[in-house]
Structure 1
Amino acid sequence: MRRLKGKGRVPGGQEGAPLPRLVLLAIFFLAGVFLGQVLARSVPERTGTELEQYLTGFVQVGAEGRQAKTLLSAMVIYFRYPVAAFVLGFVSAGVVLLPAVSAVFGFFLSFSVCCFTAAFGEDGVLLALAVFGFRCMVTMPCFFWLAAPSWGLAASRLSVGSGRRSVPPVCGRSGWLRFGAVCGVLLAGVCVELFLPPYFLRLVLERILI
């Protein structure tokens, strides 16, 4: 009974050897970045006008103090990938889905940045930095910090029922503490997102459009 109980929890299934998993997830992320750069080349020229209208509206929302209307969207943007990384550790399908989520994360980030550079040239780099810079500084470390151990936890669930383990592995106290810390960091990032990015974006737009 003691042997089965020890095998059931297997804290090392989540914590052990996270570096190789982190490297592999980073490779999938970079693959998504590359694919985003390739597909961004087909963006039509009218995208520049659409982006300009979007950015102008984004700045006006911040200037008029209507941050409450963007709170929900900001929370979705900040929490979607890290929360997905944590939740997928509870299902064996996370073995496949976590690399896919990492690639999707890299793809949409790269595609968005490339759209800015394609529409505004060199100034697009500054615009992308103003819009995505702080957000990426917060969300990317949080995502990989959760994704690496979650991938190990999801992989350990594949052995349940194979004769080696009869009790599903659990997240453990350290995993929940990690998730709580990430949520705190993301909430702080959301608060900053509602104030600082519109200010920096306004400065960049004034330089480009005026």
Structure 2
Amino acid sequence: MKWKRRETAEWRRQLSRLLVLALFFFAGILLGQVFSSRVPDTTGDELARYLKDFLKVGEEDPSPRAALSAAVLYFRYPLAAFLLGFASIGVLALPIVTGAFGGFLSFSVCCFTASFGPDGVLLALAVFGLRCVVTLPCYFLLAVPALERSAALACLSLGGGRRAGPALYGREWWGRLAVVAGVLLAGVCADLMLTPWFLRQLLERMLIG
């Protein structure tokens, strides 16, 4: 009975951490929309040139540089969340990083929609859709326990370790990282193969055709 109570209490704490991070993520989305309204009109031409250049690159086999760039885009936020779990400052930095994640994503999508209208939604889906499907769950899967560990470290540094308990990095912690890394690598490979093809179909219809 006591074990079930502890399990329920732990589940509630995890849910509360997830909700806190989700609030910062959606706050970042709102800020990204606000800042995107100040983007100059010439952004549309710049995005069109960028997409055409991307189309030319996509016709060739993925280069090491393209693979590295895709890996950085996929791993940067989940890896940052994981590393912040080893620092007490993570209790403050993780919400900020989560807000930045939502803000930059929202800003990019809004730039596409503002520049290309309804077609911009499809373009944004082609460029960011697969990445978001993969990286968002992976990020929160690492960020929630990282917030717990960093909060425990902060309590230890402030002399409240007895009440909060030690920060543990056991098999579950490293196993979660291994699973997330595998999923992110699969996402990078799928992105390199599928995104250029999908984007090419859209660009041929909207920009070239």
Q: TM-score with structure 1 length normalisation?
A: 0.89
The CA RMSD over aligned residues, in Å, is 2.0
Confirm or deny that 1:50 pairs with 2:46. yes
> Whole-Å Cα distance in 2 between the matches of residues 15 and 157 of structure 1?
20
8 A Cα contact 1:67 1:194, kept in partner = no
Q: Does 1:182 align with 2:180?
A: yes
Establish whether residue 67 from structure 1 lines up as the match of residue 63 from structure 2. Answer: yes
Q: Give the share of equivalent positions with the same residue, in percent.
A: 55
Query: Could you tell me which residue of structure 2 aligns to residue 155 of structure 1?
Result: 151
User: Counterparts of 1:68 and 1:184 in 2: how far apart (Å)?
Assistant: 19
Aligned to 1:207: 205
Matched, 1:172 2:170: yes
Alignment of 1:14-163 (within 5 A): 17-161=13-157, 162=159
Structure 2, unpaired ranges of 5+: 1-9
Superposed CA offset, 1:38-60 (max 9, x none)? 11001111111110111111121
- Which runs of no fewer than 5 residues in structure 1 stay unpaired? 1-13
Give, in whole Å, the separation in 2 of the partners of 1:199 and 1:44.
29
- With normalisation by structure 2, the TM-score equals 0.90
8 Å CA contact retained: 1:33, 1:110? yes
Using CA pairs under 8 Å that are at least 6 residues apart, name the structure with larger relative contact order, 1 or 2.
1
Pair 204,139 (structure 1): closer, same or farther in 2 beyond 3 Å: same
Shift, 1:148, TM fit = 0.5
SS at match of 2:156: coil
Counterpart CA distance in 2 for 1:163 and 1:142 is 30
Does the Cα contact within 8 Å between 2:113 and 2:120 map onto a contact in 1?
yes
Q: Provide the rounded CA distance (Å) in 2 between the counterparts of 1:183 and 1:164.
A: 31
Q: Report the alpha carbon displacement of residue 16 of structure 1 after superposing the two structures with TM.
A: 7.3
Letter in 2 for 1:173: R
Distance 1:22 1:72, change over 3 A: same
- Larger mean CA deviation between 104-113 and 55-64 belongs to 55-64
